[in-house]
């Protein structure tokens, strides 16, 4: 038998850190005000109805407002938008986070980031409590995906560009 690692928070995180993930700034607005946080725990669920999930730590400063607003926008970052990931990734005052980037709105009123590789404007249709996190089940009511820019990848605790070289670059 192969010797396995003990399953601890540290071994789980170290193994999960090996998985490459797109980086998103998840925003929300409404009666509880504008808020946002950086997330890699975002995943497509089904296209019928168009649904994705977002995992949010209940201790995050954005948590209460996201749940009260009941809407959010998943803004998937371009490789040039690493500074936004850092601004929304914790500790920065909420008003200062939104000083980075240009913002508009679509259907729900959640802030929509200009220049993202995709924007999924969503209603939160279900919430599952799993350990420290809430899994927010989100139905997309409007989508933008206009830029050709490469995406931002987070893997091994570092940022990379998802630029795919074409034949001319090789």
Ligand X SMILES: Cc1cc2nc3c(=O)[nH]c(=O)nc-3n(C[C@H](O)[C@H](O)[C@H](O)COP(=O)(O)O)c2cc1C
- Partner whose binding site includes residue 32, from ligand X, ligand NAI, none (CB under 5 to 8 Å by kind): none
Residue ranges in contact with ligand X by CB under 6 A = 23, 37-41, 55-57, 60-62, 85, 88-91, 154
SS3 of residue 123 by DSSP: strand
86's enclosing H/E stretch is: helix 82-87
Q: How far is CA 8 from CA 14, 17, 44, 57, 147, in A?
A: 10, 14, 27, 18, 40
Q: Which value, to the nearest 10 degrees, does the dihedral of the CA atoms of residues 55, 60, 66, 67 take?
A: 80
Closest-CB residue for ligand X? 90
CB nearer ligand X, residue 88 or residue 120: 88
Q: How far is Cα 66 from Cα 43, in angstroms, rounded to an integer? A: 18
- The tokens describing 141, both together, are 């009511």
Least distance to ligand NAI, CB of residue 41, Å: 4
Least distance to ligand X, CB of residue 106, Å: 22
Least distance to ligand NAI, CB of residue 1, Å: 26
Q: Which of 30, 32, 50, 55 binds ligand NAI (CB under 6 A)?
A: 55
Least distance to ligand X, CB of residue 167, Å: 32
135 belongs to the binding site for ligand NAI (CB under 6 A): no
My answer on whether omega of the bond before 49 falls inside 30° of 0, hence cis, is yes
41 belongs to the binding site for ligand NAI (CB under 6 A): yes
Q: How far is Cα 20 from Cα 58, in angstroms, rounded to an integer? A: 24
Q: How far is Cα 28 from Cα 141, in angstroms, rounded to an integer? A: 14
Least distance to ligand NAI, CB of residue 20, Å: 10
CB nearer ligand NAI, residue 114 or residue 160: 160
By CB under 6 A, name the binding residues for ligand NAI.
13, 16-17, 40-41, 55, 57, 90, 157
């Amino acid at each position: 038998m192969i010797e396995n690692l003990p399953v601890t928070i540290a071994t789980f995180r170290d193994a999960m850190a090996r998985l490459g993930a797109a980086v998103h700034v998840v925003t929300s607005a409404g009666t509880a005000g504008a808020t946002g946080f950086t997330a890699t725990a975002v995943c497509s669920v089904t296209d019928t109805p168009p649904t994705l999930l977002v995992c949010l730590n209940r201790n995050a400063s954005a948590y209460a407002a996201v749940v009260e607003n009941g809407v959010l926008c998943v803004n998937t970052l371009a490789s040039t938008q690493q500074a936004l990931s850092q601004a929304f990734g914790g500790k920065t005052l909420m008003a200062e986070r939104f000083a980075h980037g240009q913002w508009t709105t679509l259907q729900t009123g959640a802030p929509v980031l200009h220049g993202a590789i995709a924007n999924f404007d969503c209603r939160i249709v279900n919430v599952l409590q799993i350990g420290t996190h809430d899994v927010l089940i989100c139905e997309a009511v409007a989508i933008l995906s206009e830029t050709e820019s490469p995406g931002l990848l987070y893997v091994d605790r570092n940022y990379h560009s998802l630029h795919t070289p074409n034949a001319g670059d090789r």
